[in-house]
Structure 1
């Protein structure tokens, strides 16, 4: 395979795609203990690509890490985002594919999008993909997903304004607003149904972050709290005590809680902790509509900001990025709701 840096962009005969592997089910096989674990290396993943694709796309595969994505932390996700940003900064590649576990793919993809947007970085197509079945399982979906991701990344970057993409089960969708909806279906991810609404959400957020994106560094602690019938202030208060600078509430319905949660949110906001409300419901926006002492309008009056498009995983990443940039409550509100 021709090394990427041995060829100038103007003379490249084929598009150049860099595949960065990080582990996940796409690289997993079942071990002697009966559990799936990442074991397939970058070269072997590349070897699953069909010959016709390799004949027209110059593909390099490089391992960054080999972990289950549920075991990733923010440091791991930042490492991925930094490598993508570094690779896209020059003229060595036309596209980048990241293979990633599906459990937290939506978070790392959004974090990478925020890093790439910083300061008007040159945009190449960046595509995340993975698999629902291990590499040694019958009907493994990883090879097909990887082939689609490489094919997508090798195309023109004219639509790179959509940001980072996810290629899965024969579909390609913007990472912003996309979330995993099934633990077993091969078509595991769903994009936000209104693409224009998702694009507007992304533009609002990027406009609210100084520099237009996230500088690589560290993120403050932001916790996620799931609300349920009869939930009280214990977990919200514990997050504050643990030093969280932000809390994302996965609320009921369109964004509802109860009086105890509202009181806890009011206390958190008074202490300078940013609170964002999303919903545990799979479809539809989160919004403040109900009252009664514990509804969404009560949460909003207590100081919470609603996240109409992003669900808890991605809302947590965006809130942490905003807090890392030092923005205030007004900018957080504009980032999520305009």
Structure 2
């Protein structure tokens, strides 16, 4: 896709989330209902966006804990269609925080866009006394029109993260996201970008054909397991009995596994199930070692699951 922009048009795709949530009381930051407001309502609440060339489209309206494969297919298709328009400088996607990192990584692996696709969200509902959504959305638009910006990005609390690095690291604070190995791309300060790193590479996406060859209901079944004190192989064998296509295991430390869990995972591999070994640590890679189960590298367990899904869809 061309990176030349003849316009500063930004397309805003709404998918719901806390940023569009409402609570009965302004002091209530947790007892709200997500995905209550439309994306155009979110834009109308930000005077600084008035007069900017924007298009708004409500693509979905859900709490991101309920994000699903069908919505991913639809979202990737619409993003690709808008990116192909020469008048579009970039896109912004409003999303819930719970699965934002998974959606961002999915879109980057599938599309690897040469224009910016910026996911943003909020930790406080739109009705909160100090809601964070409007500033996050304003900052996301600033990144979407920044010359040279590209790739799938997350803009949150003034920080710009790449889809590969971003992780939700706090359950409540408005500074809820971090780059897992400190690889922050940049900051948005009063609408001005201060870059700290390089934009993601463009042009190595897997393509829409990879995710549209099967209906969402027929996508591979990939589950995540956790190593912990007393971990055994019972869950692995139960999943094998139910039918599973792939397993990601969040190991301890450098992807280490109890003997019993590793033995069950090797049984699964022998039965044709794909296995990836990640870590339950907040950051850092799983190093390859001779004879060990395959490593997910620096991917978190949830991103390793996305990668395994895409591999299996091939």
Distance 1:307 1:194, change over 3 A: farther
Distance 2:206 2:11 in 1: 29
Q: Deviations over 1:81-121 (max 9, x none)?
A: 2211121122241110000000000111111112213xxxx
What is aligned with 1:6? none
Task: Note if 1:99 corresponds to 2:94.
Answer: yes
Task: Note if 1:191 corresponds to 2:187.
Answer: no
2:155 to 148, 154, 167: 167
Find the residue that maps to 2:98 and give its secondary structure. coil
What is aligned with 1:148? 139
Task: Note if 1:42 corresponds to 2:32.
Answer: no
Distance 2:227 2:67 in 1: 24
CA contact (8 A) 2:251 2:257 kept: yes
CA contact (8 A) 1:81 1:108 kept: no
Q: Post-superposition shift, 1:214?
A: 4.1
Q: Post-superposition shift, 1:176?
A: 1.0
CA contact (8 A) 2:110 2:206 kept: no
Distance 2:110 2:254 in 1: 30
What is aligned with 1:216? 212
Task: Note if 1:71 corresponds to 2:61.
Answer: no
CA contact (8 A) 2:110 2:207 kept: no
TM-score, scaled relative to structure 2: 0.84
What is aligned with 1:291? none
Task: Note if 1:309 corresponds to 2:304.
Answer: no
Distance 1:213 1:181 in 2: 33
CA contact (8 A) 1:279 1:312 kept: yes
- After superposition, residues 1-338 of structure 1 pair within 5 angstroms as 10=6, 12=7, 15-30=8-23, 34-51=31-48, 53-55=49-51, 57-117=52-112, 123-156=114-147, 158-160=148-150, 163-193=151-181, 195=183, 214-218=210-214, 219-287=219-287, 301=291, 304-325=293-314
CA contact (8 A) 1:19 1:62 kept: yes
Find the residue that maps to 2:277 and give its secondary structure. strand
CA contact (8 A) 1:25 1:37 kept: yes
Q: Post-superposition shift, 1:239?
A: 2.2
Q: Deviations over 1:244-280 (max 9, x none)?
A: 2111001112211111111111111111211111111
CA contact (8 A) 2:233 2:260 kept: yes
Distance 1:212 1:287 in 2: 31
Q: Deviations over 1:195-223 (max 9, x none)?
A: 49xx99x87xx96x866994434431111
CA contact (8 A) 2:32 2:125 kept: no
Distance 2:280 2:171 in 1: 16
Distance 1:99 1:213, change over 3 A: same
What RMSD, in angstroms, separates the aligned Cα atoms of the two structures? 2.6
Distance 1:216 1:123, change over 3 A: farther
Find the residue that maps to 1:139 and give its secondary structure. coil
Distance 2:31 2:211 in 1: 41
Distance 2:78 2:159 in 1: 25
Q: Post-superposition shift, 1:78?
A: 2.1
TM-score, scaled relative to structure 1: 0.78
Distance 1:109 1:216, change over 3 A: farther
What is aligned with 2:193? none
